[in-house]
Chain A
Amino acid sequence: MPTQEEIYEKVAETLVDALGLDDDEVTPEATLVGDLGAESIDFLDIVFRLEKAFDLKIPRGELFPENLTAGDPNLVKDGVVTEQGVAMLREKLPFADVDAFAEDPQVENIGDLFTVQMIVNYLDQKLS
């Protein structure tokens, strides 16, 4: 079983290839969209590369769920994610740092939950 560090190295390499980055741009805390400039189609590319690099299958929506709040008024109110919404995020994104997000749960910051570390955490559990 690979260590977290080994997983991180491979994830970083994957992101460098998928997003055309320099090696030093990738950090564990970096957000995929905000910091690394990923666009929606890049997530498909990243999933393909991770599957290849780690020789596993990543079911659709398991690592990068889509349409998280889907405009549901119970989940988002006035641009803020509700308690119910935060609970949903914890359930759907068990590998993300939802606690940090919950301190200021602006809906526009949901994308920041997708970090390099989140991918590492996901793979760590998947490979164990």
Chain B
Amino acid sequence: MRWIWIDRFTEFESGSHATAVKNVTLAEEHLHDHYPGFPVMPGSLIMEGLAQTGGILLGEKNNFEHVVILAKIPKCEFHSWACPGDKLTYKVSLVESSEQGGMVECTASVGERVVAEAEIVFAHVDKTRPEAAAIDQKNFVFSMRLLGVMDVGKAGDGSTSISVKTESSN
């Protein structure tokens, strides 16, 4: 199993905002026990999906030159839940970014129903630090690209966004 908690980006505006979707399915093993007889997507994995959407948004802004890690979730509120068959839409806006990291505001919804709202802070880890040596974020995102998760040229005029062109040309 791959640790990828978004299925596809549906919108990607470099350095500004992004939308990704996650289809919840009963084939996901963790739903069998969470909870028995009442399968719901764990809130922590919704947060992970939001963080992956936001982390890629921030990473792409800097051409994936930094190792982006989830540093802190200062705010996180759950209003509802997502069940098998639901399509979670993760909307993320980059509200701050600097050399040291960035912050996003995000929501997870199913249709019009807001499931969760959060703020997530990311930090850039210096690649020269020993603990960062094992992380190859470009490969991570590149492998996601192979899975089609970054194919977002499906809205508007149907053209592939500049950000995706940049990424694929690397």
Where the two chains meet, the residues of A that have a C-beta atom closer than 8 Å to any C-beta of B are 17-18, 20, 41-42, 44-45, 47-48, 51-52, 60
Contacts and interface: CB of A to CB of B under 8 A. Distances in A.
B99 A48 contact: no
Contacts of A20: 74
B71 A44 contact: yes
Given A44-B121, A47-B98, A47-B100, 18 more contacts: A17-B75, A18-B74, A20-B74, A41-B71, A41-B72, A41-B123, A42-B72, A44-B100, A44-B123, A45-B72, A45-B74, A45-B103, A48-B95, A48-B96, A48-B98, A48-B102, A51-B96, A60-B100
19 contacts: A17-B74, A17-B75, A18-B74, A41-B71, A41-B123, A42-B72, A45-B71, A45-B74, A47-B98, A47-B100, A48-B95, A48-B96, A48-B98, A48-B103, A48-B121, A51-B96, A60-B98, A60-B99, A60-B100
Interface of B: 71-72, 74-75, 95-96, 98-103, 121, 123
For the complex, would chain A's binding face be called helix, strand, loop or mixed by DSSP majority? helix
A57 B75 CA distance: 23
Given A44-B101, A45-B103, A52 B96 contact: yes
B135 to A, nearest CB: 17
B121 A41 contact: yes
A65 to B, nearest CB: 13
A45 B121 contact: yes
With most chain B CB atoms within 10 A of its CB, the pick from A20, A44, A60 is: A44
A44 B95 CA distance: 13
Contacts of A48: 95-96, 98, 102-103, 121
Contacts of A41: 71-72, 121, 123
A16 B73 CA distance: 14
A70 to B, nearest CB: 16
Nearest to B72: A41
A45 B121 CA distance: 7
